[in-house]
Chains A and B, each alone.
Chain A
Amino acid sequence: GNSVTQMEGPVTLSEEAFLTINCTYTATGYPSLFWYVQYPGEGLQLLLKATKADDKGSNKGFEATYRKETTSFHLEKGSVQVSDSAVYFCALDEAPGSRLTFGEGTQLTVNP
């Protein structure tokens, strides 16, 4: 079956530090890959996505590249802000309209 594995958290950084949150996946087909962000007490917001190998998703300074050879979709940001503090979820779906498989989530705290 499908699975998504994220790096263990929590992650604590100082403002302007570089961020990497690792995500690897297992899937039988050719999934689309997503990063979602959840702020306290809220639902999930789509941060970025990639639908095929070598695609790079980007949004709000965050980037992730779909690496089929390493089955990875690591999230990166060059300079984090306090407002980036949230829980980040990596996810995949194997077909349009199909269910999402989520990783465990990674709590990010950015200190001023």
Chain B
Amino acid sequence: GAVVSQHPSWVICKSGTSVKIECRSLDFQATTMFWYRQFPKQSLMLMATSNEGSKATYEQGVEKDKFLINHASLTLSTLTVTSAHPEDSSFYICSARETVSRNQPQHFGDGTRLSIL
């Protein structure tokens, strides 16, 4: 089945540093990937839609300069949290959808738990 790999699974870093999270589709091509943020005991909040070879589409209220998204190939999208602060601590999840055919569901990575000290 379709597998999405997300790395790292857990990161702890100091306030002010930048953190890069990778999302890879291992056995399929994905023109579109999605980045979500999830707070404890809450649902997923879509942050942005990542499109291969073009700029990401951000949801209202999400800072583009804070959360940099790059989708340079059909199997890799990255989310960089720049100058991270404690309020950026959260669980970040990516998903990818196979390009090939209609009605394909999104496949999710296992998430990245980000803790900013």
A84 at the interface (CB under 8 A from B): no
Interface residues on A, range: 20 to 34
What mask results when residues 45 to 89 of chain B are scored 1 for a CB within 8 Å of chain A, else 0?
010010000000000000000000000000000000000000000
Interface segment, one of A14-22, A62-70, A71-79, A95-103: A95-103
Is B6 in contact with A43, judged by CB distance below 8 angstroms? yes
Is A105 in contact with B93, judged by CB distance below 8 angstroms? no
User: Which residue of B has the minimal Cβ distance to A89?
Assistant: B43
Interface residues on B, range: 20 to 34
Q: Which of A41, A46, A105 has a CB less than 8 Å from the CB of B107?
A: A46
Q: Which of B46, B93, B97, B102 has a CB less than 8 Å from the CB of A44?
A: B93
Q: Which of A43, A93, A99 has a CB less than 8 Å from the CB of B93?
A: A43
CB-defined contacts of A89 to chain B, threshold 8 Å: 43-44
**Most chain B C-beta atoms within 10 Å of own C-beta, residue among A43, A99, A107:** A43
B113 at the interface (CB under 8 A from A): yes
Q: Which of A43, A49, A99 has a CB less than 8 Å from the CB of B105?
A: A49
A81 at the interface (CB under 8 A from B): no
User: Which residue of B has the minimal Cβ distance to A46?
Assistant: B105
CB-defined contacts of A45 to chain B, threshold 8 Å: 108
Q: Which of A41, A43, A49, A97 has a CB less than 8 Å from the CB of B97?
A: A97
A32 at the interface (CB under 8 A from B): yes
State the CA gap A100–B49 with chains docked (Å): 11
B29 at the interface (CB under 8 A from A): no
Q: Which of B46, B103, B104 has a CB less than 8 Å from the CB of A99?
A: B46
> Can you list 6 A-B pairs with a CB-CB distance of less than 8 A?
A42-B110, A43-B95, A43-B110, A44-B93, A100-B46, A100-B95
B positions within 8 Å CB-CB of A? 4, 6, 31-32, 34, 41-44, 46, 49, 93, 95, 97, 101-111, 113
A positions within 8 Å CB-CB of B? 32, 34, 36, 41-46, 49, 51, 89, 93, 96-97, 99-100, 102-105, 107
